[in-house]
Amino acid sequence: GADGEPDEAWCPYKVGADGARLCFRTPARGFQCAPRGCRAHRSAGGALVANVLRNGSVLLQWGLRHWGAPRPSAASLRGFALNCSWDGTYTRFPCDSVELGAACRDYLLAEAHGSVRYRLCLQPRSAPPRPAPPAQCVEFRVEPAAMRDIVVAMTAVGGSICVMLVFICLLVAYITENLMSPAVAR
């Protein structure tokens, strides 16, 4: 890459929950967070960015040039460790820890919970004797996009029910007025 980073086609990673399985993903090169469908959250050092998408997924992106001192060099870099936690109503839950290869510069969290606060920390792993650089952490909250859709659907259904109730009331009034009145008159 332009800042001395490798341009490999695949990102190998291992998820802590099923650590025996090695997975590969293609990097999302050139991804830009569009203001209408995405919100970007940066770590304090600026090396890690969490792109929170409207569909509930989060694309993490990072680069080495923005890392604090000591900055990891591409030659000594052995990979990255991604740790995650989120705040529930009463307690903090750990997410799966992920080990990423040295060529990885992004990672996709496919399904994030809405309305909870996430904290993700990315730690470069360097070969000895180089010291490990500090972790870059980012915090964000995923908007419950599905909740907005549910409210719209419930409003539409509620409106339809109200219209049906009005028609039923009018029908009952019509039946009462036109069919019952002649029987009372006899």
pTM across the whole model: 0.67
Does any domain span residue 16?
A: yes
Of 69-78, 122-131, 159-168, which range is least confident? 69-78
Residue 176 has pLDDT above 60, yes or no: yes
Residues 40 and 104 in one domain: yes
Q: What CATH number did the domain enclosing 132 receive?
A: 2.60.40.10
Q: What is the dihedral of CA 161, 167, 169, 170, to 10 degrees?
A: 160
Residue range 58-85, pLDDT digits in tens: 999 998 887 766 677 777 888 999 988 8
- Contacts made by residues 8-12, CB under 8 angstroms, sequence distance 24+: 8/103, 10/103, 11/100, 11/101, 11/103, 11/104, 11/105, 11/106, 11/107, 12/100, 12/101, 12/103, 12/104
| 108 and 165 belong to one structural domain | no
Residues 172 and 126 in one domain: no
Residues of the domain holding 133: 11-143
Q: Is residue 1 part of a domain?
A: no
pLDDT of residue 3: 45
Structure tokens at 78: 């052995």
For residues 109 and 38, membership in a common domain is answered with yes
Tell me the DSSP string of 31-47: ----TTTEEEEE-TTSS
Q: Could you tell me if 137 and 149 lie in one domain?
A: no
Shared domain check, 114 and 180: no
Number of domains in the chain: 2
